[in-house]
């Protein structure tokens, strides 16, 4: 090799011409979100309609950017808001500050605050950036409110809520098929993430693994098994087929 190594870079860039693009033309085509996507917060309720928040302010305490403002108040005895002693009567999150680190979700003792996957929302003035309790609280079915300035994707509301571990054990063989999150209110328990084998029901977890989308960009040994060789070509063709023509896998 030696001198020919110089042309290796040229070969690589030329090969990339033939490969599919990694990016999407965003507002027209949107890439599937990951199961652990951090988005806008949601304040959960119990099945009987009681709020889960007990106004303990742990979320506000743990927040690294001080974007949460909570004030607790004793529950009124005749019509309590939460099953505990106190409830959060003010709950505000400033989304100009929030970095979506999910530490508030980790800190919450009652799993009252969780993060949905919705991140596409915008505001035209600063006060609009502060979400109050009225906007954060889920509706009677347990689904998050779809506010007019937010861009919810189809089926996403069902993938919201559900407290999950901050550190993903994804890839650890011991966690193969183990569900790493609690139930989504109103939608039940989502399927488990893929472990090392990468086998997972994409419909149930609500997303598609990137390594399954871009197998052509990997070194040969990193390409997932189902995309290798002739069988891989067949599987690829199957993926491209319209859904109704595809034979049912299960």
Q: Is 240 in the site for other proteins (CB under 8 A)?
A: no
Q: Is 23 in the site for other proteins (CB under 8 A)?
A: yes
Closest approach, Cβ 18 to other proteins, in A, equals 9
The first and second tokens of residue 58, run together, are: 């742990």
The first and second tokens of residue 123, run together, are: 């505001």
CA distance 58 to 108: 6
User: Which residue's CB is nearer to other proteins, number 25 or number 127?
Assistant: 25
Count interface residues toward other proteins (CB under 8 A): 15
Closest approach, Cβ 9 to other proteins, in A, equals 4
User: Which residue's CB is nearer to other proteins, number 154 or number 222?
Assistant: 222
The first and second tokens of residue 71, run together, are: 């004030």
Contact residues for 185 (Cβ-Cβ < 8 A; gap 6+): 44, 45, 47, 138, 142, 143, 161, 162
Q: DSSP code of 144? A: P
Footprint of other proteins on 166-225 (CB under 8 A): 217
Q: How many CB atoms lie within 10 A of CB 225?
A: 12
**Buried residues in 157-191 as b, exposed as e (16+ CB within 10 A):** bbbbbbbbeeeeebeeeebbeeebbeebbbbeebe
Q: Is 12 in the site for other proteins (CB under 8 A)?
A: yes
Work out which of 10, 140, 154, 243 binds other proteins, going by CB under 8 A. Answer: 10
Work out which of 1, 3, 5, 20 binds other proteins, going by CB under 8 A. Answer: 20
Q: Is 22 in the site for other proteins (CB under 8 A)?
A: yes
Contact residues for other proteins, defined by CB under 8 A: 9-10, 12-14, 16-17, 19-25, 217
């Amino acid at each position: 090799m030696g001198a020919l190594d110089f042309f290796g870079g040229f070969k690589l860039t030329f090969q990339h011409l033939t490969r599919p693009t990694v990016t999407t033309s965003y507002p027209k085509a949107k890439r599937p979100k990951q199961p652990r996507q951090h988005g806008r917060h949601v304040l959960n309720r119990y099945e009987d309609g009681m709020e889960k928040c007990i106004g303990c302010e742990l979320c506000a305490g743990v927040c690294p950017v001080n974007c949460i403002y909570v004030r607790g108040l004793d529950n009124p005895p005749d019509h309590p808001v939460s099953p505990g002693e106190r409830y959060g009567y003010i709950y505000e999150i400033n989304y100009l500050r929030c970095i979506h680190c999910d530490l508030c979700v980790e800190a919450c003792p009652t799993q009252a605050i969780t993060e949905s996957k919705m991140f596409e929302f915008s505001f035209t003035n600063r006060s609009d950036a502060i979400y109050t309790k009225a906007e954060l609280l889920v509706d009677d079915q347990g689904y998050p409110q779809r506010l007019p300035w937010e861009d919810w994707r189809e089926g996403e509301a069902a993938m919201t809520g559900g407290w999950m571990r901050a550190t993903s054990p994804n890839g650890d063989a011991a966690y193969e098929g183990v569900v790493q999150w609690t139930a989504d209110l109103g939608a039940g328990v989502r399927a488990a993430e893929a472990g090392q084998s990468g086998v997972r029901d994409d419909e149930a977890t609500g997303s598609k693994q990137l390594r399954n989308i871009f197998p052509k960009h990997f070194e040969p040994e990193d390409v997932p098994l189902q995309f290798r060789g002739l069988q891989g070509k067949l599987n690829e063709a199957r993926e491209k087929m319209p859904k109704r023509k595809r034979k049912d896998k299960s």
